[in-house]
């Protein structure tokens, strides 16, 4: 049994219905690399179980102290069942990129079950209508509570459930250790620990208050002396700062890593600066297209910092700080904006590392959950974030993944996309992830704030292309390399693949009908010149027009009671013949991958 750290407890205390505090990831896999050319669902389950046995943290659940008097504890769950956390689903028709994004957004919007280990994974099949992906591929969406992992920890979890080769030999596997569990503490034990910890926590809180007060004083003095750049709090409010609701949208763009490196080398900046500049250009373009761009000022973004490399490693699962920087969206020229972003991020990191405000999130974990949860609820319900002077439009996190392929149950990972958390007053999150020669830039947003993520995807691609053209033109290269070009056809073809097929079929049918009609009219003109067969075309058309009157006349002569049902059956017969056309639309087995159970 282990008590949560201050920062880990902060994410538990900030959990709200509209802003659940979990992060996620979406990987797409090609099963052709598996030993048998396909992957069974039970293989995925056994792989997860084998891997997670090496990391007890993902078999632990949360035990809260009665009354919220103290920080909660992690307890190894004796009833842990990996099959509860792994779910097998398929995309609805038509199973294209848009359907995948909608499904992932819905899954990410649902809060985790806080009474069980705080993670879930969904194996999603039915991706065959997404162009550019291998035949029979499937996706794995995972979500984990932020109290378990931060950005760096999330990449560690990704490495935990993957292999370096498609079929690892048994010699490479470690001997499975016996699974240890904790005895669940009683209420009396938790309350007794809380009473002792309250004294320690009070003393620690007083020391932290004094330390932070001195740190803030030094920081203010250094800013006044111009030794540290002052933080920019002049960012305007936009539609991106509205209240966050319970629904989400998700989309992502794929870029070649070669293109990012070309921009980086041409301008002498970092990959992170390139990503921030692309996001800034895309946000400005999106707001302009919606007539919501600010009249003056630049948008600002929050930038998470990995404090492991700055203060050393601690026992907390989360070791992350946060600073914010201007995206200089008021600068039109892409290259000038990139250079301004580079300078702003450098100043933000320099001032942020020396400021106690980098750890402002710890305030939510320093007090007891009873106090913090109540305050977080009041803050969220009353939208008090709108009163803050700092208007952060989005958070942009950059995680560097491996430059070599990974495998899950033998299936090669093709792409990977990250998903973050939204907070009250900040309804947009960007995750940049590099893997095996690609850079994916995914966006998670509130559905009311960004109802059209497809439009924003277009803005991201346009921003990248404009920045690449400006950087390479300044470098004297000019033309875009083939490897640096963006292939944005995945969603376009997926949206138009089925309609195009139907349109072609209809066009062919219409063409054949018009051709036959032309032939018939030609024959009619030829026969019209001959008097012997001058009435032949009239006789062909006459049965079509005179069918109904002939039947009516026959109906008058015969008994009406007997002919009435015949008319009804004659009219209903053609309607029943349309049924096979509806069955074609529901023929799911033709598009579903063979991910066998």
Among 129-138, 173-182, 552-561, the range with the most confident prediction by mean pLDDT is: 129-138
Q: How many Å apart are CA 206 and CA 90, to the nearest integer?
A: 53
Average pLDDT for 575-589: 45
pLDDT digits (tens, 9 = 90+) for 207-229: 777 777 777 777 777 777 777 77
Is residue 315 pLDDT above 90, yes or no? Answer: no
pTM (2 d.p.): 0.78
User: Quick one: pLDDT band at residue 482, thresholds 50, 70, 90?
Assistant: low
Every domain range in the chain assigned CATH 3.30.559.30:
232-405+415-493
pLDDT given at position 173: 55
Q: Name, in order, each residue with C-beta under 8 angstroms of 39's C-beta and a sequence gap of 6 or more.
A: 29, 31, 138, 409, 410, 411, 595, 596
More confident residue, 488 or 77: 77
Answer CATH for 2-191 from 1.10.10.10, 3.40.50.980, 3.30.559.10, 3.20.20.20: 3.30.559.10
Is residue 505 pLDDT above 50, yes or no? Answer: no
Residues designated catalytic:
146
For 19, phi and psi rounded to 5 degrees? Answer: -130, 70
Paired tokens of 363:
């305030």
With tokens 């992060």, the residue in question is 23
User: Quick one: pLDDT band at residue 309, thresholds 50, 70, 90?
Assistant: low
Average pLDDT for 360-374: 86
Is residue 560 pLDDT above 90, yes or no? Answer: no
pLDDT given at position 529: 43
Is residue 427 pLDDT above 50, yes or no? Answer: yes
pLDDT given at position 480: 62
Give the lowest-confidence range in 288-302, 418-432, 436-450, 576-590: 576-590
Residue 280: exposure state from Cβ atoms within 10 A (0-12, 13-18, ≥19): buried
Domain 232-405+415-493 sits in which CATH superfamily?
Answer: Nonribosomal peptide synthetase, condensation domain (3.30.559.30)
Give the lowest-confidence range in 262-266, 381-385, 436-440: 381-385
Average pLDDT for 44-49: 84
pLDDT given at position 209: 75
Q: How many Å apart are CA 102 and CA 119, to the nearest integer?
A: 20
User: Quick one: pLDDT band at residue 259, thresholds 50, 70, 90?
Assistant: very high
- CA torsion sign, 202 to 203 to 206 to 207? negative
Every domain range in the chain assigned CATH 3.30.559.10:
2-191
Average pLDDT for 423-439: 92
| Inter-CA distances, 305 with 148, 208, 287, 310, 311, Å | 17, 21, 28, 9, 11
pLDDT given at position 250: 97
Is residue 151 pLDDT above 80, yes or no? Answer: no
Give the lowest-confidence range in 96-100, 314-318, 369-373, 539-543: 539-543
More confident residue, 596 or 260: 260
pLDDT given at position 317: 66
pLDDT given at position 498: 46
Which helix or strand (DSSP H or E) is residue 564 part of? Answer: helix 560-576
User: Quick one: pLDDT band at residue 553, thresholds 50, 70, 90?
Assistant: very low
Is residue 407 pLDDT above 60, yes or no? Answer: yes
**What mean pLDDT is reported for the chain?**
79
Percentage of the residues of the chain whose pLDDT score is greater than 90: 39
Is residue 323 pLDDT above 90, yes or no? Answer: no
Q: How many Å apart are CA 420 and CA 248, to the nearest integer?
A: 11
pLDDT given at position 433: 94
For 306, phi and psi rounded to 5 degrees? Answer: -80, 105
Is residue 109 pLDDT above 80, yes or no? Answer: yes
Give the lowest-confidence range in 117-126, 159-168, 412-421: 159-168
| Contact indicator for 484, 468 with CB cutoff of 8 Å | yes
Q: How many Å apart are CA 479 and CA 129, to the nearest integer?
A: 33
Percentage of the residues of the chain whose pLDDT score is greater than 70: 74
Is residue 245 pLDDT above 70, yes or no? Answer: yes
Q: How many Å apart are CA 81 and CA 94, to the nearest integer?
A: 33
User: Quick one: pLDDT band at residue 273, thresholds 50, 70, 90?
Assistant: very high
Is residue 383 pLDDT above 70, yes or no? Answer: yes
User: Quick one: pLDDT band at residue 358, thresholds 50, 70, 90?
Assistant: confident
Among 36-50, 60-74, 508-522, the range with the most confident prediction by mean pLDDT is: 60-74
More confident residue, 487 or 517: 487
């Amino acid at each position: 049994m282990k008590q949560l750290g201050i920062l880990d407890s902060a994410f538990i205390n900030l959990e709200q219905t509209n802003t659940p505090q979990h992060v996620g990831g979406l990987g797409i896999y090609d099963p052709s690399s598996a030993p048998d050319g396909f992957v069974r669902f039970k293989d995925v389950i056994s792989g997860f179980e084998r891997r997670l046995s090496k990391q007890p943290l993902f078999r632990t659940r949360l035990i809260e102290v009665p009354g919220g008097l103290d920080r909660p504890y992690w307890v190894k769950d004796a009833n842990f069942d990996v099959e509860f956390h792994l779910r097998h689903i398929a995309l609805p028709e038509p199973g294209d990129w848009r359907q995948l994004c909608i499904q992932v957004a819905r899954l990410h919007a649902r809060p985790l079950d806080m009474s069980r280990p705080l993670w879930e994974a969904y194996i999603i099949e039915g991706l065959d209508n997404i162009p550019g992906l291998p035949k029979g591929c499937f996706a794995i969406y995972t979500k984990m509570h932020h109290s378990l992992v931060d950005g760096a920890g999330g990449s560690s979890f990704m490495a935990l459930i993957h292999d370096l080769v498609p079929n690892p030999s048994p010699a490479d596997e470690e001997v499975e250790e016996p699974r240890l569990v904790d005895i669940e503490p009683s209420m009396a034990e938790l309350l007794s620990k809380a009473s002792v910890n309250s004294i320690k926590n009070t003393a620690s809180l007083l020391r932290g208050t004094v330390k932070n007060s001195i740190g803030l004083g030094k920081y203010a003095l250094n800013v006044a002396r111009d030794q540290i750049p002052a933080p920019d709090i002049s960012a305007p409010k936009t539609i991106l700062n509205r209240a966050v609701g319970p629904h989400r949208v998700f989309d992502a763009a794929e870029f070649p890593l070669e293109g990012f490196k070309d921009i980086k080398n041409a301008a002498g900046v970092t990959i992170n600066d390139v990503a921030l500049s692309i996001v800034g250009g895309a946000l400005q373009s999106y707001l302009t297209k919606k007539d919501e761009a600010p009249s003056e000022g630049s948008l600002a973004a929050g930038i998470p910092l990995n404090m492991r490399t700055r203060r050393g490693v601690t026992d907390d699962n989360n070791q992350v700080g946060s600073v914010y920087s201007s995206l200089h969206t008021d600068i039109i020229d892409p290259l000038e904006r990139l250079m301004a972003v580079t300078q702003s991020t450098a100043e933000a990191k320099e001032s942020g590392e020396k400021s106690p405000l980098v750890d402002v999130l710890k305030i939510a974990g320093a007090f007891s959950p009873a106090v913090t949860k109540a305050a977080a609820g009041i803050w969220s319900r009353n939208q008090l974030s709108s009163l803050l002077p700092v208007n952060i439009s989005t958070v942009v996190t950059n995680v560097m993944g491996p430059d070599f392929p990974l495998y899950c149950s033998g299936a090669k990972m093709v792409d990977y996309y990250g998903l973050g958390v939204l907070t009250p007053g900040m309804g947009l999150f960007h995750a940049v992830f590099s893997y095996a020669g690609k850079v994916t830039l995914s966006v998670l947003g509130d559905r009311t704030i960004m109802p059209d993520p497809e439009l924003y995807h277009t803005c991201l691609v346009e921003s990248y292309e404009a920045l690449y053209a400006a950087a390479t033109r300044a470098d004297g290269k000019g033309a875009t390399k083939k490897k640096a070009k963006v292939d944005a056809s995945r969603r376009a073809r997926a949206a138009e693949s089925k309609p195009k097929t139907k349109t072609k079929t209809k066009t062919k049918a219409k063409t054949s009908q018009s051709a036959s009609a032309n032939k018939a009219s030609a024959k009619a003109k030829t026969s019209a010149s001959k008097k012997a067969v001058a009435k032949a075309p009239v006789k062909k058309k006459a049965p079509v027009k005179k069918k109904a009157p002939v039947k009516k006349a026959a109906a008058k002569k015969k008994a009406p009671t007997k002919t009435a049902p015949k008319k009804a059956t004659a009219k209903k017969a053609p309607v029943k013949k349309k049924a096979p056309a509806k069955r074609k639309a529901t023929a799911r087995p033709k598009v579903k991958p063979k991910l066998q159970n």
